Amino acid sequence: MVFGEKMLARWLYSLVFYLATPYLLYRLNARGKLNPAYRERKRERFGLYDRAPLSKSIWIHTVSVGELIAAQPLIEQLLQDYPQIPVVVTTMTPTGSDRVLAAFENRVHHVYLPYDMPDAMVRFLDCFNPLVSVIMETELWPNMIHYSRRRGVPVIVANARMSERSAEGYNKVKFLVRPMLREISVIAAQATPDGERFVELGLPSTSLKVTGTVKFDLAIDDTLKQEAADLRKAWGNERPVFVAASTHEGEDAQVLKAFKYIQSTLDNALLVLVPRHPERFDSVALLVNQKGWVLARHSQSDIVTADTSVVLGDTMGELLKLLGASDVAFIGGSLEPVGGHNMLEALAMGTPAITGPHVINFQVVADLLTELDVLSTVTTPLGLGQTALSMLQDTVCREKLAAKGLQVVDENRGAMGRLLNIIRGYLPDNLSG
């Protein structure tokens, strides 16, 4: 592709983005009906800020909650190693924003990532002046990457993954993707197959590093473990507790079918149901009530009594605690074709995990865990109910699974250190603390 064709591809892409601006604003307002936070801070979406520019910064981009959780140990280490350099954390969603503020308060600078328009990205870069850009996983935007590199800002894609399905999608717009990949300094891939797909799409092989997944480096402190233990005591240590984490539209009803099967044998079992998106909390609560179960909403500190069958995990940033307070976990986004969520969070909290068949977002991790016999896969609500019931009834087997899961997580740590070494290579030595 000649230089002119590269410019034309990105120019046409940018034009489409500008023409779509009315739709983007409409979409924000529409989503704001369910979550008012989408209607706030719209200026940030266009790179407009009421603040003084920073002289330099380290920029970490996380799409939403899952990527932010994965990035937290990295951010903490950068704050410790470079105390004099501001750290800027961008997200795309209000839930991700809430998580940043809850985790770091005023220790980092936080704004929404602007829409991928040239002028918006230039304003963002002018305001925050990053020394390096670290993009978590697969949030690749042509203008973000182009204008970063044009300013001499190295772009690192951390914990990068590329499924076969995603690669097929990117290949359809290879004329746009190929020049974008050639402007990336390093892609730190989770596994060799991910890296190979990036290279096939146009990434220079010299820009590829295989570091493993940082999700194994999830930090679990003693305070969190104690909070989980206290919560479990409040629910009743003697009760079997089954948690369905990060469920999506269509999955809640399937989980409730599975729970009905569990309760046919264990009538005192407790279900902790945690919808993925806060705008769905009320509709899921209504669904539970319609099924005739007594519901306690975690956000309202409802007391869980012997009559309570379902706890609705309708708070943000507490999933790890809810996982740790449960006996068995189902990881959502996997019975519906969403792609799955992070099953390592359950294992790191000492809770055996079950997943559905749709785990493309965590395929490498799921394959490893399955091979090591620490992850169960089901395909139907009945299968979920049967598998969860078997685990809930067999304490010895469940404890062995929990111990083995913790061992697997510990043995596969280290990706964070390898990633940090890459980032440090792009920061001046005299800036470290």
For the residues 230-238, what does the mean pLDDT come to?
96
Which pLDDT does position 5 carry in this prediction? 59
Q: Give yes or no for residue 369 having a pLDDT over 80.
A: yes
CA gap 281, 288 in Å, rounded: 11
Would you state the pLDDT for residue 388? 98
Task: Answer yes or no: is pLDDT of 237 > 90.
Answer: yes
Give residue 116's pLDDT: 96
Sheet holding 130-136, edge to edge: 109-112, 87-91, 57-61, 130-136, 155-160, 186-189, 208-210
Other CB atoms closer than 10 Å to residue 25's CB: what's the count? 14
User: What is the reported pLDDT for 395?
Assistant: 95
Residue partners of 233: CB distance under 8 A and separation at least 6: none
C-alpha to C-alpha distance for 60 and 134, rounded to whole angstroms: 5
Give the residue numbers marked as catalytic.
67
pLDDT at 347: 97
Cα–Cα distance between 45 and 25 in angstroms, integer? 10
- Res 42: pLDDT: 93
Q: Is residue 347 exposed (0-12), middle (13-18) or buried (19+ Cβ within 10 Å)?
A: buried
Mean pLDDT of 127-143: 93
Q: Note whether 361 and 341 are within 8 A (CB).
A: yes
Half-sphere exposure of 256 (CA within 13 A, CB side): 23
Write out pLDDT tens, residues 289-313.
999 999 999 999 999 999 999 999 9
Average pLDDT of the chain to the nearest whole number? 93
Neighbours of 289 (CB within 10 A): 12
CB 38 within 8 A of CB 32: yes
Reported confidence tier of residue 432, pLDDT bands at 50, 70, 90: low
Cα distances (angstroms) measured from residue 191 to each of 160, 212, 348, 377: 9, 6, 20, 22
Which distant-in-sequence residues (6+ apart) come within 8 Å of 397 by Cβ? 390, 391
User: Which pLDDT band, with edges at 50, 70 and 90, does 164 fall under?
Assistant: confident
Share of the chain above pLDDT 70, in %: 98
What pTM did the predictor assign? 0.83
Contacts of 39 (CB under 8 A, 6+ apart): 28, 29, 32
- What structural domains and CATH numbers belong to the chain? 7-212+415-431 (3.40.50.11720), 222-411 (3.40.50.2000)
Looking at residues 259-265, what average pLDDT do you find?
97
pLDDT of residue 342: 92
Residue 184 pLDDT exceeds 70: yes
